[in-house]
Amino acid sequence: MIVDLHTHSTASDGTTPPDVLVREAREAGLSVLALTDHDTSVGWAAAADALPSGLALVRGAEISCVHDGISLHLLAYLYDPDEPALAATLQDMRDSRRARAERMARMLEADGTGVTWERVQELAGGTVGRPHLAQALIELGHVADIRGAFVPEWIGTRGRYWVPKRDLDVLDAIRLVAAAGGVTVFAHPAASSRGRIVDEEVIAQMAEAGLHGLEVDHYDHEPEVRDALRGLAADLGLLVTGSSDFHGDNKPVELAENTTAVEMYERLVSAATGLEVLAA
Ligand code: AMP
Ligand code: ZN
Ligand code: FE
Ligand code: FE
């Protein structure tokens, strides 16, 4: 049984539409796929409608959070998307992302790069993010690839054309998801190549707030880092997951490049009270 609990579709910054993603997942031999687009559940319906037999769909999202000025990502699964407090917060975050992406696009436009907000919107099917601005820069020949855009001269964090977006404190996010019947896993907790990471004390506070697991097996973690995280998860009584963080052509990772043990998956799902896992 192959379980992949972290993937993106065109509902955020992946390049595979949700209905195609579930078919590709089945073809790749997966038994369980979680769809976790950034701050949105807009891809769930298309994925559910196209769900092939033999694949279970876990509806989720990857929520952009912050703590002490450090940006971090929280995977949230099986929460009730209509729970008012969580729904309002996620709507707010999407509105803020949109306003911020528009400001960044207009700054790029004003400097004569050829980037337009109209084009960036075309490139974004759902939640707009910096990868869409990066695509616009690639099309215009300013950078060779997405990574080339995440630099100080372009749209890297605190870079020339970077604008902050509204972020939610991770402890509040964990409580909001729990109140909506969902379960949470700290995504790529030690991905130091993306920027500053939080220390173990913060992870302990997250566990205290109701966090269920740590995403240990992820392409951003070297083997020694994974060992340390596994030890920390054991100390804090947290579940351990692994996942691909698939983004289609936007990242060089394959579906199920990292996976979650069945026992861990079952314990995670049994802790949720919001939504059911879908099966065709
Ligand atoms: P945003 O959420 O709009 O600020 O964009 C951040 C997203 O861009 C992350 O979730 C990653 O998917 C992607 N990203 C961040 N840093 C890099 C990088 N150095 N190279 C490629 N993609 C990145
Ligand atoms: Zn992404
Ligand atoms: Fe992430
Ligand atoms: Fe992700």
Q: How many CB atoms lie within 10 A of CB 271?
A: 18
Tell me which DSSP letter residue 83 carries: -
- CATH number of the structural domain 3-90+169-279: 3.20.20.140
Closest ligand to residue 251's CA: 1
Atom 2 in ligand 1: residue holding the nearest Cα:
129
Q: How much distance in Å is there from the Cα of 85 to the middle of ligand 4? A: 23
pTM for this predicted structure:
0.93
Nearest-CA residue for atom 20 of ligand 1: 147
Residues with CB under 6 A from ligand 1: 13, 38, 64, 129-131, 146-147, 150, 194
- For the chain, what are the domain ranges? 3-90+169-279
Q: What is the pLDDT along the chain (280 residues), one digit of tens a residue?
A: 999 999 999 999 999 999 999 999 999 999 999 999 999 999 999 999 999 999 999 999 999 999 999 999 999 999 999 999 999 999 999 999 999 999 999 999 999 999 999 999 999 988 899 999 999 999 999 999 999 999 999 999 999 999 999 889 999 999 999 999 999 999 999 998 888 999 999 999 999 999 999 999 999 999 999 999 999 999 999 999 999 999 998 788 999 999 999 999 999 999 999 999 999 8
